[in-house]
Amino acid sequence: MQTLTQSYRGLGLLVRLNWDRALTGFVILGALAAGTWLATL
């Protein structure tokens, strides 16, 4: 049971780290898209 708990915590940490990276990528892409849109005005 302890092994399952530690594995779950490790998996949760991995998901949180990857979610942060994915969110950062989406924010950068959104900022680039907004800049492109503003340049066309």
% of the chain with per-residue pLDDT over 90: 37
* Confidence tier at 3 by pLDDT (50, 70, 90): low
Could you read off the pLDDT of 7-19 as tens digits, one per residue?
A: 667 777 777 777 7
Number of H helices, E strands in the chain: 1, 0
Whether the predicted pLDDT of 31 surpasses 90: yes
pLDDT of residue 6: 60
- Phi first, then psi: give them for residue 9, nearest 5 degrees: -65, -40
This model's pTM is above 0.95: no
Whether the predicted pLDDT of 1 surpasses 60: no
- Phi first, then psi: give them for residue 40, nearest 5 degrees: -85, -10
